[in-house]
Structure 1
């Protein structure tokens, strides 16, 4: 019987911020100038403080932009 261990995913705060925001993961990736797949690969590993800040700022900026539109 295999034991399951709940390990937290790296960058869970970024994943949570995207989930709670009105933006999609691919929109964050596009704003960063990378593909969605590349962005998700980056989230697998610990990011530098600079990269984390850039991603969180992008999520905030896109959220403000989307909240003012008819985004579904």
Structure 2
């Protein structure tokens, strides 16, 4: 977040992207299972990538990768 604030302050356009892999973390009496979190991340990766490509190919959206 601090990097995004600094980049925005310098005039850069910033996009934040997040994937919640365990919505109930800290709310459930069950401990967080790292294997389940990793599996959800893996299972969501292609859909997240597809959404990102769809967003970046919209008219007026530009992306510069450093």
Choose 1 or 2 for highest CA Rg: 2
**Higher relative contact order (CA closer than 8 Å, sequence separation 6+):** 1
Q: Which has the higher helix share?
A: 1
